[in-house]
Structure 1
Amino acid sequence: MKSTYLNLVLAAAMLTQGGINVAQAAGAPMVTFIATPQQLSVNQSASKTVGVSQVGGQSAQVLYGDPTKPGLYTVLLRLEPHKRILPLSHPDSRFVTVLSGTFYIGFGDKYDQAGLKALPPGGIYTEPAHANHFGETRDEPALVAITGYGPSGTTYANPADAPKPGK
């Protein structure tokens, strides 16, 4: 656990201002560096990042590995304020850490605001494979780190809720 957390922190630092802006291949030697959530820059559209909700107002950066292939990966996901993620699941189990802001998460096949739990920075949750979950941000953006073992993907509980390309 300590090693996984250390690797996550080190991988997250890849996005420090002026730092490396490309993903590190899985299995490659990991470089040592440190960053705070405020130093991370996540500004690439999430629209082409596998394993995230694809909701407009998201930015994502693959830090390590490739979520489309078998193996360990880590993705940073930034959600703008007032974004809602409707119930969805992923084929792989994942571990999520809130790095900044407050992220509200719940589990189930239908969106239920009463079932949301507020997770401040340092909050964690798991996304078991194929478990439908939903979430939102409120008045502030949130930055989360998602680590899983791919290949990943996203399936909405109600296919009509899936964002359309370009929206």
Structure 2
Amino acid sequence: MAWAPGPPSLPPGAEFVLLEGNPAEAVPLTFRLRFPANYRIPPHFHSVIEHVTVLSGTLNVGMGEQATYTGGTALNAVSFAAMPAKMVHSAWAGPEGVTFQLHSVGPWSITYVNAADDPRTKRPAGNR
């Protein structure tokens, strides 16, 4: 597997590898994400269900439109979670970082509750 910088829809620092499918098409998707220590994704939702399996480290998930980045549910290695479409949540890596696999169906999208949190609006136009 060849890891690449995460998609522009995620804050800088994530790494990504697509294993199956095309995120722009209505097909099954499998991809892996790797987040560094204490990496954060502000409150957001997806248009489709997401199935997450943690491979190493800890992925913390909090529900709701306000992120505190404390508490929430800690998903450790071999943990599984399913988040229904449009469920607002935030996510953050533990102090050791996290690698996880995500299964879903395209087209894949992420919508931030607060548009100012969307990294696509913070990057130079050539990197969107």
Is TM-score (shorter-chain normalized) higher than 0.5? yes
Q: Deviations over 1:137-167 (max 9, x none)?
A: 1311200101001111110011111112259
Structure 1 unaligned residues grouped into runs of 5+: 1-14, 16-20, 22-42
List, as ranges, runs of 4+ consecutive aligned residues in structure 1 with deviation greater than 4 Å: none
Q: Which has the higher helix share?
A: 1
Q: What amino acid does structure 2 have at the position aligned with 1:123? A: S
CA RMSD of aligned residues (A): 1.6
Aligned residue for 1:79?
35
Q: Provide the C-alpha distance between the structure 1 equivalents of 2:77 and 2:18, rounded to a whole number of angstroms.
A: 20
Does structure 1 residue 147 correspond to structure 2 residue 107? no
Q: Provide the C-alpha distance between the structure 1 equivalents of 2:63 and 2:25, rounded to a whole number of angstroms.
A: 26
Q: Provide the C-alpha distance between the structure 2 equivalents of 1:141 and 1:91, rounded to a whole number of angstroms.
A: 26
Aligned residue for 2:68?
112
Structure possessing the higher radius of gyration over alpha carbons: 1
Distance change >3 Å, CA 158–CA 61, structure 1 → 2: same
Does structure 1 residue 65 correspond to structure 2 residue 21? yes
Aligned residue for 2:94?
138
Aligned residue for 1:159?
115
Alignment length (residue pairs): 123
Q: Deviations over 1:107-133 (max 9, x none)?
A: 111113344111110111112111111
* Structure 1 residue 79, shift from structure 2 partner: 0.3
For the residue of structure 1 that corresponds to 2:95, the secondary structure is: coil
Of structures 1 and 2, the one with the larger relative CO (CA 8 A, separation 6+) is 2
